[in-house]
Amino acid sequence: MFNSANSQVDRRLNSLEKHLKQENPVLLQVVQSFRELDRVAYRMGLISRDDSFATRVPWWPLISILGTFSSGKSTFINSFLGQKLQRTGNQAVDDKFTVICFSKEEKIRTLPGLALDADPRFPFYQISQQIEDVVKGEGKRIDAYLQLKTCQTEKLLGKILIDSPGFDADAQRTSTLRITDHIMNLSDLVLVFFDARHPEPGAMKDTLDHLVKNTINRSDSNKFLFILNQVDCTVREDNLEDVTAAWQRALSQSGLTAGRFFQIYNQDVAHPIENETARIRYESKLKEDMDDIDERIRRVEVERAYRIIGVLEHTAKTIANQTVPALTNLLQRWRKSTLILDGILLLLLAAGLGGLIMAGYPVASWVDINTWTAMESWKQIVAATLATTGVLTIGFLHFMLRKLTASLLLRKLPKEINEPMLLEFVQNGFKRNTQPLHPLLSASPMGWGKLAKMRVDRVLKNTDMYVQNLNDQFTNPSGRADTNNPKIQLDVQ
């Protein structure tokens, strides 16, 4: 079973390495470090053997487009790519998450959601299981939620775009929000679109709460760009500032008090701006904001490489600095609770067993010698039987107590650990260490020793080297060519 699982993981990672070999030599080395962490995690039971840390992170820069329906997301994508890829309209025209990537073929192709669910190179690898966890039976309907589109345009080289269905149009809301959260976690850049033609942001409170309130406290909150689209609708009343202010107030009520608020529109389908002064003002603002958005999109190719190395470093530190101490502490609590209950159990059984044995001895003085001899044999048989039964009972109850105390501690764990990765590692490692045949008094968690620590330390040391290799692509403080230390080239086209 393990060999089969490992071979599947190896095939996935070999496929990933094949793609990275020509595109990102630095990241190719990072895959090897992920493999090193996998070995440690397998032995400790932190992840299953059909899983890999390398498949938990998308290896291509990911830009997601979120927002309300009819806010111009698809029109923006078509304009950015220079091709009419996505359907557009005033009503909700697409109810699926669309992953858009480069293809050498000129023909645009649309592939089912299964193409994403089964490929570890894409951000929706095994997303069907997450959907199934939220809504039973929906995981089998992955094609109802996802689709993959291919397009031959240089704008997509080295990156992936995701177009989301409008929040207000999707009937399968719970699953959609789960996928949206998944996208926001993985994305390098998130463009959140709002429709300037609907200047009553109060009606969008639920959407604002999910897209704004849940993002402002994130450590990566700077990757969210909030965009007020189709601002050309304000030309007739010349009230762009008023509409913008209304949306800014709505965002501030949701908790967003800082950050850039972009104002754009599509010139190809915009209302004609007859007033020359207004036209210059609108076009100048559009150019300024679109230049900034384009620059952020261009930068994600560099940022993704650093982000992947950051994930590698974070995972290694989580294992060594958080998982091992938390797991060790939890196992100590488990041992203490189990031993206390074992002690109480032994006292109760000893008291009961002693009473039964004593009851087997005759105390009447009138018993003759023959009867006494017979009684002595009977007592020995009873004592042996009771002793054997007692040992078996103690063993059975001991393993039941081990299981009971482990179950109680696992139930409390989500309240004690808030970080998802750490919680997963501690839960899985604890289950591995509390298996029936594992020694109760083991000094350290299974799989964690000098060799494992050495491997994690090596990974952490290598992450510094990977960052330095990336830095060499973009920085040169001395201004001199370094011929003695050739750089590893990173393709960030």
pTM, whole model, 2 decimals? 0.66
Q: The domain that contains 178 carries what CATH number? A: 3.40.50.300
Hey, which residues does 254 pair with through a beta bridge?
none
Q: What is the pLDDT of residue 425?
A: 95
Q: Would you say residue 458 lies in a domain?
A: no
**Residue ranges making up the domain that contains 253:** 61-272
Mean pLDDT, the chain, whole residue set: 77
Q: Would you say residue 332 lies in a domain?
A: yes
Q: Would you say residue 36 lies in a domain?
A: no
Q: Would you say residue 220 lies in a domain?
A: yes
Clarify whether residues 227 and 330 are in a common domain.
no
Q: Would you say residue 484 lies in a domain?
A: no
**Cα separation, 401 vs 372, whole angstroms:** 42
Using CA atoms, how far residue 354 sits from 286, 350, 357, 383, 386, in Å, is 91, 6, 5, 10, 10
Give the 3-state secondary structure of residue 446. coil
Clarify whether residues 341 and 268 are in a common domain.
no
CB 257 within 8 A of CB 149: no
The C-alpha angle 384, 390, 392, rounded to 5 degrees, equals: 105
Clarify whether residues 88 and 195 are in a common domain.
yes
Model confidence pLDDT, tens digit, residues 333-366: 988 888 888 788 778 766 765 665 555 544 444 4
Q: Would you say residue 16 lies in a domain?
A: no
Longest pairwise C-alpha distance within the chain: 129
Using CA atoms, how far residue 270 sits from 199, 229, 234, 265, 485, in Å, is 17, 11, 11, 7, 53
Clarify whether residues 117 and 235 are in a common domain.
yes
Clarify whether residues 99 and 233 are in a common domain.
yes
Last residue of a domain, one of 410, 425, 449: 449
Residue with the bigger pLDDT between 274 and 491: it is 274
Clarify whether residues 80 and 183 are in a common domain.
yes
Clarify whether residues 356 and 268 are in a common domain.
no
Model confidence pLDDT, tens digit, residues 370-423: 554 555 566 566 556 656 665 666 667 777 878 888 899 999 998 899 888 899
CB 81 within 8 A of CB 156: yes
Q: What is the pLDDT of residue 367?
A: 46
Q: What is the pLDDT of residue 488?
A: 39
Q: Find the range with the poorest average confidence among 159-168, 254-263, 417-426.
A: 254-263
Clarify whether residues 265 and 331 are in a common domain.
no
Clarify whether residues 212 and 329 are in a common domain.
no
**Structurally, how many domains does the chain consist of?**
2
Average pLDDT value for residue range 444-471: 91
Clarify whether residues 241 and 346 are in a common domain.
no
Clarify whether residues 220 and 354 are in a common domain.
no
With a cut of 70, say whether residue 429 has pLDDT above it.
yes
Q: Would you say residue 197 lies in a domain?
A: yes
Q: Would you say residue 487 lies in a domain?
A: no
Clarify whether residues 328 and 257 are in a common domain.
no
User: In degrees rounded to 5, what are phi and psi of residue 396?
Assistant: -60, -50
- pLDDT band of residue 329 (cuts 50, 70, 90) is very high
Q: Find the range with the poorest average confidence among 37-41, 318-322, 479-483.
A: 479-483
Last residue of a domain, one of 231, 247, 272: 272
Q: What is the pLDDT of residue 171?
A: 45
With a cut of 70, say whether residue 172 has pLDDT above it.
no
